[in-house]
Amino acid sequence: MVASSESKGLQDPFGDPVYKAAVIDVLGAVAYGEVSAVERLTDDAKMAPSLEDKTALLAMAAAQQAKIQPVLDRLGELGVDAYAAMEPLREGFDAFHTHTRPSDWWESLVKAYVGDGLANDFYREIAGYLDEETRKLVVTTLEDSGRADFVVDRVRAGIEADHLIGGRLALWGRRLMGEAITQTQQIAATREGLSGLIIDDHLPGLDLGTIGEMLTRITQRHVERMGKLGLEH
Amino acid sequence: MVASSESKGLQDPFGDPVYKAAVIDVLGAVAYGEVSAVERLTDDAKMAPSLEDKTALLAMAAAQQAKIQPVLDRLGELGVDAYAAMEPLREGFDAFHTHTRPSDWWESLVKAYVGDGLANDFYREIAGYLDEETRKLVVTTLEDSGRADFVVDRVRAGIEADHLIGGRLALWGRRLMGEAITQTQQIAATREGLSGLIIDDHLPGLDLGTIGEMLTRITQRHVERMGKLGLEH
């Protein structure tokens, strides 16, 4: 959090158009990420083996949905059309979902848990470098509603019943992580706001070195998450 | 509401096993109806022409989703497995959705609005004959979150732009109503609890005559709803 307090400084950070464009991109990504997560979770719920499992996944989808509106409102306050802000981020998220379409219920569960976890870690890291209001909003959208416990229970029970599932899902987790990194890099490379933020030193403390450390931390948390599911990374 | 105050009487209505079975069926229907509405609305959101429309439909789905848990909790209080209570109601709802799959965005919008309205009217009518606690719970799940206004705006604008849409959607509304009646009758006929309730006079005031009046009122409200959309019934 040292970086964030430095970046706040004395003047309004939104006076810097590069900073403002980057925040709009981050919020657009958070919002569209939630929209696409709601769609995928609800789709995946169709594969649920029981009504109880289906209802639990729909509840996870609704928890994501509830986080969309505050982000749209904030984009409005920043004077931009929230839907226009989401638009350029669609391709990356849609590609992620197209490339990681679960083939069964187990893959859906792991994707719901691992995908959500990765996204949350990533936004939390980025938020540390942003102004206080944006940071608070982003961190609030990431609060875990605790529903993910059901995924952990289900996956662990599934592996216990059939050890082959564990090997397959460990590979699946690696694929989700690889695809997430690929798409994040694609988005960062195509969005001038985001890459400009780093290259031109608009945020003190955020450079290629700290981004490397950030990725290390995100990977470490991914490994911990896989372990919680009973899966080797 | 005369009937409901009579039905409460002095003793616990749940002492009557036929009454209890019927309430479990009604709550199972409300819960599974919400589950299937969430799934269909989210599916239909894929046809949205813009991110704004998509987000609005996802918000309607989330509003439905939020109503599921209190009904599941109440079924638990009544000592039954909520998911087992939903199971026998699935077929009717799934058949309704299979027979009314929207072929485009306009049909999705009208189905979201008209289908939700019909279900709400039906449950509100039934609730009037039930004990106070069940009635309050059912009526709470029916509270309109006001998001349906967006459907009215969109459909009216669509008809204004292209009058052919109006004729097609008027037919669509009739089909939704017909299919809803067919499936409700099927459910009532196959669920002993629900038909027993009426045949054996377990609820003073509810008989075939009052059911006829109920259907008349529901139809009347459907016609009003179609009118609000700018559609002839």
Measured between CA atoms, how close is B88 to chain A, in angstroms? 12
Comparing CB atoms, the residue among B38, B83, B86 nearest residue A58 is B38
d(CA A25, CA A20) in angstroms, rounded, equals 9
Please check whether residue A202 is in contact with residue A19, taking contact to mean a CB–CB distance below 8 angstroms: yes
Residues of A in contact with B85 (CB under 8 A): none
Question: Domain extents for chain A?
Answer: 12-228
Chain segment B69-93, per-residue pLDDT in tens: 999 999 999 999 999 999 999 999 9
Q: What is the pLDDT of residue B227?
A: 94
Closest CA to B86 of B62, B65, B60, B68: B68
Residue type, B118: L
Please check whether residue B129 is in contact with residue B203, taking contact to mean a CB–CB distance below 8 angstroms: yes
Return the exposure string of B15-39: e unless at least 16 CB atoms fall within 10 Å of the residue's CB, then b: ebebbbbbbbbbbbbbbbbbbbbbb
Q: What is the pLDDT of residue A94?
A: 93
Measured between CA atoms, how close is A83 to chain B, in angstroms? 6
d(CA A233, CA A212) in angstroms, rounded, equals 20
d(CA A141, CA A64) in angstroms, rounded, equals 8
d(CA A127, CA B133) in angstroms, rounded, equals 46
d(CA A201, CA B177) in angstroms, rounded, equals 61
Whether residues A55 and B68 touch (CB distance < 8 A) is answered with yes
Closest CA to A226 of A182, A172, A180, A179: A172
Q: What are the pLDDT tens digits along chain A (233 aa)?
A: 444 444 444 578 888 888 898 899 999 999 999 999 999 999 999 999 999 999 999 998 988 898 899 999 999 999 999 999 999 999 999 999 999 999 999 999 999 999 889 988 988 888 888 899 999 999 888 776 666 888 999 999 999 999 899 999 999 999 999 999 888 888 877 877 677 766 666 777 777 778 788 888 999 999 999 999 999 87
Q: What is the pLDDT of residue B170?
A: 94
Q: Which fold has domain A12-228?
A: Ferritin (1.20.1260)
Q: What is the pLDDT of residue A16?
A: 86
Encoded tokens for B23: 């309430």
d(CA A186, CA B144) in angstroms, rounded, equals 42
In this complex, is the C-beta atom of A150 within 8 Å of any C-beta atom belonging to chain B?
no
CB proximity list for A179: less than 8 A, separation 6 or greater: A96, A99, A100
Percentages helix, strand, coil for chain A (3-state, rounded to 5) are 80, 0, 20
DSSP A128: T
Whether residues A87 and B35 touch (CB distance < 8 A) is answered with no
DSSP A10: S
In this complex, is the C-beta atom of A46 within 8 Å of any C-beta atom belonging to chain B?
yes
Encoded tokens for A79: 């004077």
Average pLDDT of the residues in B98-108:
94
CB proximity list for B74: less than 8 A, separation 6 or greater: B27, B134, B137
Encoded tokens for A232: 């080797």
At B230, is the secondary structure helix, strand, or coil?
coil
DSSP B143: -
Chain segment B7-48, per-residue pLDDT in tens: 444 578 888 888 898 899 999 999 999 999 999 999 999 999
d(CA B217, CA A99) in angstroms, rounded, equals 50
d(CA B204, CA B104) in angstroms, rounded, equals 45
Average pLDDT of the residues in B40-59:
92
Those of residues 163-202 in B touching chain A at CB distance below 8 A are: none
B69, containing H or E segment: helix B68-77
A 10 A CB-CB count for B206 gives 21
In this complex, is the C-beta atom of B66 within 8 Å of any C-beta atom belonging to chain A?
yes
At B231, is the secondary structure helix, strand, or coil?
coil
Q: How many CA atoms lie within 13 A of A182 on its CB side?
A: 13
d(CA B166, CA B170) in angstroms, rounded, equals 6
Q: Is B4 a residue whose pLDDT tops 80?
A: no
DSSP B201: T
d(CA A56, CA A213) in angstroms, rounded, equals 35
Comparing CB atoms, the residue among B55, B69, B90 nearest residue A35 is B55
In chain B, whose CA is at the least distance from the CA of A28?
Answer: B51
Instruction: Please report the sign of the dihedral spanned by the C-alpha atoms of residue A66, residue A69, residue A75, residue A80.
Output: positive
Comparing CB atoms, the residue among B45, B83, B87 nearest residue A39 is B45
CB proximity list for B227: less than 8 A, separation 6 or greater: B233
Residues of A in contact with B86 (CB under 8 A): 51
d(CA A77, CA A54) in angstroms, rounded, equals 36
Chain segment B142-186, per-residue pLDDT in tens: 776 666 888 999 999 999 999 899 999 999 999 999 999 888 888
Average pLDDT of the residues in B39-66:
91
Do the interacting molecules here have an ipTM over 0.90? Answer: no
For residue A71, the Cα-to-chain-centroid distance in whole angstroms is 14
Measured between CA atoms, how close is B87 to chain A, in angstroms? 8
Residues of A in contact with B72 (CB under 8 A): 55
CB proximity list for B199: less than 8 A, separation 6 or greater: none
The CATH number given to B14-228 is 1.20.1260.10
At A68, is the secondary structure helix, strand, or coil?
helix
Choose the mutation target among A34, A35, A42, A89 for the interface with B, i.e. most B CBs under 10 Å: A42
